Amino acid sequence: MSVEEIERLLKEVQRYRELATSYIADYQEELTRGDKEKAGEALWGAVGCLLNAIHIVKTGKPIARHDDLREFARTLLIRLDSGGELFKIFRSAEKLHANFYHAFLELDEFVRLAEDMLRLIEALDKDLVEEVKALALITRTSYFRT
Element (H, E) at 125: helix 107-139
In sequence order, the 6+-apart residues with CB closer than 8 A to the CB of 83 are none
Q: Are 53 and 21 spatial neighbours (Cβ–Cβ below 8 Å)?
A: no
**Is the model more confident about 138 or about 118?**
118
| % of the chain at pLDDT higher than 70 | 94
What is the fold, at CATH topology level, of the domain defined by 3-139? Four Helix Bundle (Hemerythrin (Met), subunit A) (1.20.120)
Q: Are 9 and 143 spatial neighbours (Cβ–Cβ below 8 Å)?
A: no
Name the pLDDT band for 17 (thresholds 50, 70, 90): very high
Counting runs of H as helices and runs of E as strands, what totals does the chain give? Answer: 5, 0
- Provide the residue ranges of all domains of the chain, joining segments of one domain with +: 3-139
pLDDT at 47: 97
Mean pLDDT on 5-21? 94
pTM for the whole thing? Answer: 0.91
Q: Are 50 and 17 spatial neighbours (Cβ–Cβ below 8 Å)?
A: yes
